[in-house]
Structure 1
Amino acid sequence: MKIRFLFILCISVFQFISAQTLSPNAQVSILTIGPGSSLNDAFGHNIFRVKDPLNNIDIAYDYGRFPFNEPGFYLNFARGKLNYSIGKSNYRDVRDFYKWQDRTIKEQILNISAEEKQAIFNYLKNNYKPENREYLYDFFYDNCATKIKDVLESTLKGKIAFHEPVAFEQKSFRTLIQDNLDYNSWGSVGIDIALGSVIDKTATPEEHMFLPEYIHSFFGIATHGHSKKQLIDNENTLYEQQNLKTHNSFLTSPLMVFFLIAIIILFVTYKDYKNQKRSKYLDVILFFVTGMIGVFLLLLWFATDHTATAQNYNLLWAFPLNIVLIWKLKAQKPWVIKYLKFLVIMMCLLIFHWVVGIQMFAYALIPLFVTMIIRYIFLIQYFQRSNSR
């Protein structure tokens, strides 16, 4: 009985050691997943792959898991307090999933020592423990891509030297985002409205690596700082996207929708001008919608932990106090004309901020901006005539 027990114990210990220690033939690689069809996967994804045929290991670790079904998910997301976590999957399942989504899969095998491979594997296993899994997500500075860089710099003791890729051009954070989106999509417009001027600053070369595609390009030419040897031993395309992305219908695009809204506002304003009257319903809608958007932007700026929503000059056109004007828009109020002139000045400041480059705004909103200025000028003249009678 004792012999049998010792034999089982030895086998168990051997299996435990084998499962924890990588063989000399093990590989650690970085997977870069191409963009998907929806907004949440439009920027791609990065994954660690640990492969060791001798120990029957082929595992994928990624830092892109989020608790979608957790109570309070949307509130935490809006407040900027959303925790992401590291995930662990069988590599084949990951590969099959992204092939099903028809997303390109590229692999970069790391040119590192056996000790360094083991250090990365140990780090990922320790990070996967329930008490270590979660981290506070930040789209620009702490996400599934930046974690790849952080893990390697930590386990390789900062011995990575990054170099600028050929034809590299430094861009602002906003441009880097919009390069991955159709400017005439609702996702693109929403981002340009919600995110402030802080993302219009030029990102440093290493800050570009908040996007998976730049993890791939920068790591592709990175070197070991001490020896100058290439960090990447080999690159492979494991799956190539088969179908090109289809564009959304122009008829339902933001540019078309805002153009139609602008036409309606211009038509009503022209009729009001010809008939010397004011369509109150139009002004109620205009000031209510712009005011509510302004309140939302203020909350994003001051009531959340989002770093990218600060200093948002969309408030120049979506002014929160417009809500108050709904009940005060009367000719007998002298300050109303001054307030309308103030709104025109705000729109001019918006144009100035755009031209100078302080903040870029959504191109699809241009028809709306033009008609808002025209409507404000009409209201100023209308109230001035009414008060002079």
Structure 2
Amino acid sequence: MKKLLLTSLLLSFFFSFSQVPQLTNNTEISIITIGPGNLLNDSFGHNGFRVKNEYLDVVYDYGRYNFEDPNFYTNFAKGKLKYLMGAANTRDIIAYYKSQNRTIKEQVLNLNKDQKETLLNYLGNNYKPENRPYLYDFFYDNCATKMRDVAETVLNGNIKYNTPKVYKNETFRDLIQNNLYWNSWGSFGIDIALGSVIDKTASPREYMFLPENIFQFFEEASFKNTNKPIVKTSKILYAQDEPFEKDSFITSPIVILSLLSFGIVFITFKDNKNDKRSKWLDVILFTITGIIGLLLLLLWFATDHTATAYNYNLLWACPISLIALFQVSKSAPKRWFVSYLKFLVIMLCLMTMHWFIGVQVYAYALIPLLIALAVRYIYLIRFLTRKV
């Protein structure tokens, strides 16, 4: 059944809505808000404009991308991914998201005839093939912010946002993690990949990068010149009937990393007892942390992703470790390698200080690994100092 719905929805994506929708006396324009889904890429919800009258019922949205683009994966990695405006029949949209058990809410906008016509012309023009692509940014230009920006453009800025009760002084990272289970691999990966730039407090306007917050802000918004509410009526088209199941705790980051960390500490204890060094373990640790550090460095400097800058996970995942690999496997490494180990311990201390003073928030599941790395590095410093 789900495959049939998905096929129907995909076909409707290519249905021609290129003509400007005709305005009638019964035309209603709404903002549709889709709740979070069960997959990581669905965790933050979705938005679209619904246009409904006696002749059509269509949802326009800004959340499409073309997997068949020959440069799709390259552009995704570089932060140059172009998203597309799309359109689909509302019945297909509703059926598809109901099949995913995702809440669907609708806010009918309180627009006059001229405002509706302006918005319809804007959507029709935006749907032309040459106008559909836009350079996506997760925080500043996405399917949610497009609702705000298009509405402001069409209404010439005649919108007053009255801060809703849901607004709190939270950082971008807080807002992301509010939609994720903290002990999931998605949450862990986001905390590793995104830098300290997302640890700043989001302003009320910046709050609207999330679809649910678009719903909340428009619910309280009004026209500046008349003080009338922007939203005429709100309703729930479908309510999620049961919460999504969390991933197994056994395979969660905190369990897996704790087991790995215990293994590192245990091997280090055995090495200390036997006055030896398990070089294979050090090769693995330096290789993995070095590769992770190199990837983080590339995300920071070699891409246009705004959220991956100033990522201080590099304090524990240092790319220089890949160079130090040439010394790791030696029984008697050079003196500078011991100095590098001391540097790594200092970086772990600096990372802890960063965490306490709020420069950057790190994944909680990292804690056992950071402790294990510190134990291993300190042991290596003591062991190699005696041998050099």
TM category (shorter chain) comes to over 0.9
Instruction: Tell me the CA shift for residue 23 of structure 1.
Output: 1.2
Alignment pair present for 1:366 and 2:367: yes
Matches within 5 A, 1:1-389: 20-53=21-54, 56-329=55-328, 330=330, 331-387=332-388
Instruction: Tell me the CA shift for residue 265 of structure 1.
Output: 0.2
Bigger drift between 328-337 and 184-193 goes to 328-337
- Aligned partners of 2:124 and 2:184: how far apart in 1? 40
User: What is the identity, as a one-letter code, of the residue corresponding to 1:361?
Assistant: Y
Instruction: Tell me the CA shift for residue 382 of structure 1.
Output: 0.2
8 Å CA contact retained: 2:300, 2:309? yes
8 Å CA contact retained: 2:20, 2:120? no
Give secondary structure in 2 for the equivalent of 1:161.
coil
Name the CA shift for 1:20/1:328 in 2 (closer, same or farther; >3 Å).
closer
- Aligned partners of 2:21 and 2:291: how far apart in 1? 56
- Aligned partners of 1:308 and 1:184: how far apart in 2? 21
User: What is the identity, as a one-letter code, of the residue corresponding to 1:215?
Assistant: I
Give secondary structure in 2 for the equivalent of 1:308.
helix
- Aligned partners of 2:72 and 2:289: how far apart in 1? 27
Instruction: Tell me the CA shift for residue 243 of structure 1.
Output: 2.2
What TM-score, normalized by structure 2, do the two folds share? 0.93
Instruction: Tell me the CA shift for residue 21 of structure 1.
Output: 3.3
User: What is the identity, as a one-letter code, of the residue corresponding to 1:344?
Assistant: V
Instruction: Tell me the CA shift for residue 52 of structure 1.
Output: 1.1
Give secondary structure in 2 for the equivalent of 1:145.
helix
Larger Rg, first or second structure (1 or 2): 1
User: What is the identity, as a one-letter code, of the residue corresponding to 1:279?
Assistant: S
CA offset digits 1:313-343 (Å, max 9, x no partner) = 0000000010111111343511111111110
Give secondary structure in 2 for the equivalent of 1:86.
strand
Instruction: Tell me the CA shift for residue 238 of structure 1.
Output: 0.3
Instruction: Tell me the CA shift for residue 40 of structure 1.
Output: 0.5
The two structures, once aligned, show a CA RMSD in angstroms of: 1.1
User: What is the identity, as a one-letter code, of the residue corresponding to 2:185?
Assistant: W
Give secondary structure in 1 for the equivalent of 2:117.
helix
User: What is the identity, as a one-letter code, of the residue corresponding to 1:295?
Assistant: L
The corresponding residue for 1:14 is none
Bigger drift between 371-380 and 334-343 goes to 334-343
Instruction: Tell me the CA shift for residue 72 of structure 1.
Output: 2.5
The corresponding residue for 2:12 is none
Instruction: Tell me the CA shift for residue 167 of structure 1.
Output: 4.9
Bigger drift between 278-287 and 93-102 goes to 93-102
- Aligned partners of 1:205 and 1:373: how far apart in 2? 40
The corresponding residue for 2:15 is none
- Aligned partners of 1:238 and 1:52: how far apart in 2? 17
Name the CA shift for 1:332/1:31 in 2 (closer, same or farther; >3 Å).
closer
User: What is the identity, as a one-letter code, of the residue corresponding to 1:266?
Assistant: V
User: What is the identity, as a one-letter code, of the residue corresponding to 1:340?
Assistant: L
- Aligned partners of 2:30 and 2:21: how far apart in 1? 18
User: What is the identity, as a one-letter code, of the residue corresponding to 1:198?
Assistant: V
8 Å CA contact retained: 2:196, 2:311? yes
Name the CA shift for 1:167/1:303 in 2 (closer, same or farther; >3 Å).
closer
Instruction: Tell me the CA shift for residue 20 of structure 1.
Output: 4.6
Structure 2 residues not aligned, in runs of 5+: 1-18
Give secondary structure in 1 for the equivalent of 2:307.
coil
Give secondary structure in 1 for the equivalent of 2:30.
strand
Instruction: Tell me the CA shift for residue 71 of structure 1.
Output: 1.9
8 Å CA contact retained: 2:327, 2:333? no
User: What is the identity, as a one-letter code, of the residue corresponding to 1:73?
Assistant: F
- Aligned partners of 1:20 and 1:324: how far apart in 2? 61
User: What is the identity, as a one-letter code, of the residue corresponding to 1:29?
Assistant: S
What TM-score, normalized by structure 1, do the two folds share? 0.93
Name the CA shift for 1:243/1:332 in 2 (closer, same or farther; >3 Å).
closer
CA offset digits 1:245-271 (Å, max 9, x no partner) = 101101110111000000100110000
Give secondary structure in 2 for the equivalent of 1:223.
coil
- Aligned partners of 1:383 and 1:157: how far apart in 2? 69
Give secondary structure in 2 for the equivalent of 1:70.
coil
- Aligned partners of 1:183 and 1:20: how far apart in 2? 44
